[in-house]
Amino acid sequence: MSDEIVIQTRALGKVYRDFWGRQKVRALKPLDLEIRRGEVFGLLGPNGSGKTTTIKLILGLLFPTEGEALVFNKRATDVSKNERLGYLPEESYLYRFLNAEETLDFYARLFDMPAETRKKRVDELIKMVGLDKARKRQLQEYSKGMTRRIGLAQALINDPELILLDEPTSGLDPIGTREMKDMILRLKEEGKTVVMCSHLLADVQDVCDRIAILHQGELKELGRVDTLLTVADVTQIRARNLSAECQNELRDVIARHHGELIEMDNPSTTLEELFLSIVRDSEARPGRRANVEQSTSA
Amino acid sequence: MILEEEILPYFQWLWSGSASSIGALPRFLLIALGLSFLGLVLGFFVAAARHGFLRGGDIVYRTITNGVRELLETSPRRVWALARLAMQEAWRRRVIVALVVFFIILVFASWFLRTDHQDPAKLYISFVLTATTYLVLGIALLLSAFSLPADFKNKTIYTIVTKPVRAGEIVMGRTLGFTLVGTILLLIMGVCSYIFVIRSLDHTHEVEIGSLKKVQNAAGEFIGQDGRTSRNNYHRHEVELNAEGEGIALNNYGHTHPIVKRGDRSVVLGAEGIMRARVPRWGKLTFIDRQGVPKQRGISVGSEWTYRSFVDGNTQATAIWTFDDISSALNYDNGEVSGLPIGLIVRVFRTHKGTIGKGITGSIQVRNPETGLASEVIPFTALDAKIDERIIPRKLRGTDDKEYDLYKNFVSSNGELEIRVQCLEGGQYFGFAQPDMYLRLPDASPLLNWIKVYASIWVQMVIVIAIGVTASTLLSGPVAMLFTVSFIVLGFFRPFFVGVAMGTEYGGGPVESFYRLITQKNIIVKLDEGFTTTLIQGVDMVFKSLMLTMAQVLPDFAALSTVAFAALGFDVPADKVFQDLTICLAYVIGLSILGYFLLRTREVAR
């Protein structure tokens, strides 16, 4: 396995059995996968498709029934691989009686960090995830979004090369979702490898370089997002300030070349864009009704 | 002091053991080796059944090699981080409630503990120490059994095991964290209970002026006064005062009071000797039967408890203790009396009432085992089951009526001395066990003894924590708790458990016992010979083998407890403390290794 391949699975499969060893469900059919250094890789699929099982097998939280998973060329059950990875679980499973500082300090100690480095890193991360004002509050007082943020901070405590994110945007509001996606892109810019699994298609589309689509425990599609989403026989033109005459001319040109005009219309923005514009405007001009007409109609 | 097992010197206990058992270390290694082999075989069969022989073998090999590697990679910082977390968790789970319960027990204990008891110190000390033991063991059980399962249930374990944390560190961290919490609790309880016992038993009296009678010497000179004190705390003392009005309130209810002169009054000060730490030096006990034949044991009077054996009165039957390393350095001399201080406990068995209101008389005689020179007999009245502290005079008359020196004439050239005890009344019996006579060395500090007893409670607590944490690596909280409770209960009755497994207890094994129960046959009745009995005993053989195997790892909680030492006023020997600490270390090491493999082979996200 070359150094460029961070995760490799070879015919990795998982069957859940009952106490007597009888097969209950085949959660993952033999899966061959290679995830390269520096890419954002998405595991996509509906609930119960085997995404989380795959992540857990890669982390060594589950043992494979067949095949094997290698992380940094080490077996998934080898604890030493954890030195270089960070993991954000589906829910932020943290100790709710600790505050943000104590939480990060605890996880930093697990990486055997000396006190000075630990203090610096904890401070950096708390500021990075925007919890500076809540650093002394117990996690049980945190909102869902704040809990996710501290969860992300613990996943980054060791400045990992590989970050595994299980449903990173689940439970987040649109601002939190956007911040999470921006964070993933920033990590990518820093050269980190990110593996995320999600059933929120838009999130995956926004940040992933490559995706694997799983269904009923089976790999159905694997490739680059831009390649997979390109519709080869359809051409899209986007222009600004076209008059009605010009639009009619374009229709004629398409007809002359035996093309089929599918749609020529004023596009609408996404609800996410609209919401974020309103929030930005509200923050810029507090107490006034939002005025986002221009920006959204643009 | 009841001591069913002799306390061996530490290194003898560790390496070579007693005549009937091997040393603790070889025993530990043998058990560890046996269990490792058993675990290996079992692990291989489970892995082979799931993944086939080749892959199963590979998995077992990798698990062991990884285990050794990860053990060497253990990081103290990670262990400490996990221990701190365990402590914070314990605090969050309101471990402080244990202290509140303890204080409530202390506050209301005085309502129920009788101060008119013949030995109130024994009652108070045993009550306080027993309450502490059960409370601390209960807390240790709850903390250790539920912690890891809660992590699994809340899935917080996901964020731990995805860090470079070794399974062994998780087990060690929990054990250390809960041990520290328990240690803090024990420290607070130890200090409070010590103050409680001292304060509860402390009292004073007044000298009853009307009871004082002048004492004169042979020349008719006034030398002091005799009298008694007022009755407080359900007792009074005889008083001896000198000519200056100072003196002592004599021993009663296990203590004395000094009396000093203040102004024109004799004032009785606080009690002395309520808490003691007698330092005994035990000898070897042998017997002579009624016909004068040497025996290893005396006779049985039908008691099921065979700890003591008996000598019959007004015969040649004698109990003989042989002490070694006797020298005049052991001599006690306060100016008035000089001699060898001894302690004697006699268990009296009467076949008739004897003289009403009078104890059974016996005799003590010292003898040089080398020369055969024996002293004249020293008569005494047996204080049944109480400690009779006396001094064998330094100057003794021999059977030839000449005066001899105890150390020069009755001690053999190799430092041995025999002390022989007989019962003088026909039809009455004296029962003895080896620890029933001892040479009394100067008392140790009761406070230090208190600390040693708490150390033994600490040892029991750590063992319970180690068992609870190890069980919780595999089992759910309630099941881990039940498992640990079973271990503790069986541990407290270990001798009986071993007796059943070895077939030395009446009533057979578990199946036979159940069969006797439902067929209403008592434990002595012989079962009818036939297929059913053969089948029952055959199945019991299997059970007994399993029980015997289990007994090898069962902690003997009753033997670990030293409450009786403090309650009866004996110093806990340092050898015993070190032995208990070593046993504790062995359990922690063994259970941590077991816990590591159980956790390592468990699917965390299952």
Q: In terms of Cα–Cα distance, which of B264, B257, B310 is closest to B288? A: B310
Specify whether the CB–CB gap between B136 and B461 falls below 8 A. yes
CA distance to partner chain B, nearest, from residue A63 (Å)? 6
E-only strand ranges, B150-299: 213-216, 222-228, 238-242, 247-252, 255-262, 265-268, 279-282, 284-288, 294-295
Specify the DSSP element, H or E, that contains A218.
strand A218-224
Q: Which residue in B172, A70, A93 sits closest to A107, CA to CA?
A: A93
Q: Which of A60, A61, A109 sits opposite B81 (nearest CB)?
A: A109
Residues of B in contact with A83 (CB under 8 A): 164
- In this structure, how many other beta carbons lie within 10 angstroms of the beta carbon of residue B247? 23
Residue A1 has pLDDT above 70, yes or no: no
Query: With an 8 Å Cβ cutoff, are A80 and B164 in contact?
Result: yes
pLDDT band of A297, cuts 50, 70, 90: very low
Neighboring chain B residues of A69 at a CB cutoff of 8 Å:
none
Q: Which residue has the tokens 């002490």?
A: B323
Helix (H) or strand (E) holding A196: strand A193-198
Which one is predicted more confidently, B47 or A104? A104
Nearest one of B69, B31, B86, B14 to B587, comparing CA atoms? B31
Question: Whole-number mean pLDDT of chain A?
Answer: 88
How far does Cα B444 stand from its chain's mean position? Answer: 17
Residues of chain A contacting residue B66, judged by C-beta atoms under 8 Å apart:
77-78
| Residue among A250, A293, A255 at smallest CA distance from A274 | A293
d(C-alpha B303, C-alpha B286), whole Å: 19
Report yes or no: A154 at the B interface, CB cutoff 8 Å.
yes
Q: What tokens does B229 get?
A: 């004190």
pLDDT at B559: 92
Residue B383: both structure tokens together: 């204080």
Report the gap between the CA of B82 and the closest CA in chain A (Å).
Answer: 8
Regions of chain B with pLDDT less than 50 = none
Which of A61, A66, A117 best tests the B interface by mutation, with the highest count of B CBs <10 A?
Answer: A61
Does the pLDDT at position A40 exceed 80? Answer: yes
Nearest chain A Cα distance for residue B70, angstroms: 9
Cα distance between the two ends of chain A: 49
Q: Give the residue on B whose Cα is nearest the Cα of A78.
A: B66
Minimum CA–CA partner of B75 in chain A: A112
CB-CB under 8 Å, B162 with A82: yes
**Could you write out the DSSP letters of every residue in B82-121?**
HHHHHHHHHHHTTTTHHHHHHHHHHHHHHHHS-TTSSSHH
pLDDT for residue A36 is more than 70: yes
Query: Residue A298 has what pLDDT?
Result: 39
Contact B298, B311 (CB under 8 A): yes
* CA–CA distance, B171 with A130 (Å, rounded to integer): 35
State whether residue B199 sits within 8 Å of chain A by CB.
no
Q: Where are the alpha helices (DSSP H) in B503-573?
A: 510-518, 531-551, 557-560, 563-567
* CA torsion, ordered B354, B358, B360, B362, to nearest 10 deg: -140
**What is the rounded (10 degree) CA torsion for B547, B488, B39, B585?**
-120
Which residue among B156, B164, B606 sits closest to A111, beta carbon to beta carbon?
B164
Instruction: Give the number of other CB atoms < 10 A from CB of residue B199.
Output: 9
What is the percentage of chain A residues whose pLDDT exceeds 90?
A: 55
Tokens coding A271: 């609800």
* Gap between the terminal Cα atoms of chain B: 53
Q: What whole-number distance in Å separates Cα of residue B314 and Cα of residue A45?
A: 97
CB contact under 8 A, B89 and A97: yes
Q: How confident is the model at residue A295 (pLDDT cuts 50, 70, 90)?
A: very low
CA distance B542 to B537: 9
Is residue A106 within 8 angstroms of chain B, CB to CB? yes
- Nearest by CB to residue B606, choosing from A62, A78, A109, is A62
- Residue in B73, B89, B605 closest to A56 by CB: B605
Cβ–Cβ contact A63 with B under 8 A: yes
Instruction: Kindly provide the residue ranges of all beta strands, DSSP E only, lying in B394-538, ordered along the sequence.
Output: 395-397, 403-405, 417-423, 428-432, 437-441
C-alpha–C-alpha distance, residues A122 and A109, integer Å: 11
What is the per-residue pLDDT across A218-265, written as a single tens digit (0 to 9) for each? 998 888 888 877 777 888 888 888 888 998 999 999 999 998 888 888
Given pLDDT bands bounded at 50, 70 and 90, which one contains residue A193?
A: very high
The full 3-state SS of B179-206, as one line of letters, equals HHHHHHHHHHHHHHHHHHHHHHHCCCCE
**CA distance to A90, A129, A270, B102, B567, per residue, from A27 (Å):** 17, 34, 35, 52, 63
Which structure tokens are listed for A67?
């095949």
Residues of A in contact with B81 (CB under 8 A): 106, 109-110
B222/B242 Cα distance (integer angstroms): 9
On chain A, the residues whose CB falls within 8 A of the CB of B154 are 93
In this complex, the residue of B80, B156, B165 whose CB is nearest that of residue A95 is B156
Rounded-to-integer distance, Cα B579 and Cα B564, Å: 17
Q: Compute the Cα dihedral for B92, B98, B100, B101 and give only its sign.
A: positive
Contact status, residue A73 vs residue A47, Cβ threshold 8 Å: no
Question: What are the φ and ψ backbone dihedral angles of B280, each rounded to 5 degrees?
Answer: -90, 150
Residue A111: its H or E element: none
Chain A residue nearest residue B90, CA to CA = A97
Write down the residue that tokens 């004296």 correspond to. B430
Residue B198 amino acid letter:
I
Tell me the chain A residues in contact with residue B70 when contact means C-beta distances shorter than 8 Å: 79
Write phi, then psi, for B78 (nearest 5 degrees): -70, -40
Q: How long is chain B? A: 606
Number of CB pairs < 8 Å for A and B?
A: 80
Vertex B434 angle, CA B431 and B436, to 5°: 60
Report how far residue B363's alpha carbon sits from residue B374's, in angstroms, rounded to the nearest whole number: 13
How far away is chain A from the Cα of B83, in angstroms, using its nearest Cα?
11
Q: What is the pLDDT of residue A105?
A: 96
ipTM over 0.90: no
Q: What is the pLDDT of residue A286?
A: 73
| A37 vs B223, residue with greater confidence | A37
Q: Please report the pLDDT score of residue A290 as a whole number.
A: 61
Interchain contact A83–B (C-beta under 8 A) = yes
Taking the Cβ of residue B93 and every Cβ of chain A, the question of whether any pair is shorter than 8 Å is answered with no
Confirm or reject contact between A251 and chain B (CB < 8 A).
Answer: no
pLDDT of residue A293: 52
